[in-house]
Amino acid sequence: MSTATADYRQPRSWLILAAFLVIVLGVGFWIGQLSAPGEWYENLEKPFFNPPSWLFGPVWSALYVLIAIAGWRIWMADRGSTAMKFWFAQMLLNWIWSPVWFIAHMPWLAFAIIVALLAAIIGFIATARRHDKLAVWLFAPYLAWVAFASALNLSIAIMN
């Protein structure tokens, strides 16, 4: 099914969107609570471009909404597509990163995960454009933020 034939106005479509939003935001919030920064993170040396801690929650909340909508649109267009496989891969990598960083205290493994996450995001963008250009644009801020977070992760790993 292409986006030209996907009917986003059907009640079933809205239920699927609600499921994407609940799962992405719900799991993201749960992992955020489980792996909240603590004393270990506060004591790390950080680069000058480290944002204030209060910024991460609002940024990730907004990004999770965009990620969920993009996933929903590709699901509606072609749930078996390569783009959808990349969407699931990036979501799993996204959810794994925080526990590895904040619970396991493994910045270098977290860096490897975030590089794989970047690759999955790029893979999604490259393959989703065949199905839905809006889904691609919804991932643009996510790509920018994860690229920034990758530089931050690498800098902190090197400094510590």
* pLDDT level of residue 7 (50, 70, 90 thresholds): confident
pLDDT digits (tens, 9 = 90+) for 82-112: 999 999 999 999 999 999 999 999 999 999 9
Q: What is the pLDDT of residue 158?
A: 98
Residue 52 is which amino acid? Answer: P
Q: What is the pLDDT of residue 128?
A: 97
Contact between 56 and 111 (Cβ < 8 Å)? no
**Domain map of the chain by residue range?**
11-159
pLDDT at residue 155 tops 70:
yes
What is the third-level CATH fold of 11-159?
Ferritin (1.20.1260)
The alpha carbon dihedral of 84, 86, 92, 97 has a sign of negative
Q: How far is CA 56 from CA 85, 112, 128, in A?
A: 27, 20, 27
The alpha carbon dihedral of 15, 90, 74, 82 has a sign of negative
pLDDT at residue 73 tops 80:
yes
The mean pLDDT of 31-53, rounded to a whole number, is: 94
* pLDDT level of residue 5 (50, 70, 90 thresholds): low
pLDDT at residue 160 tops 60:
yes
pTM for this prediction: 0.92
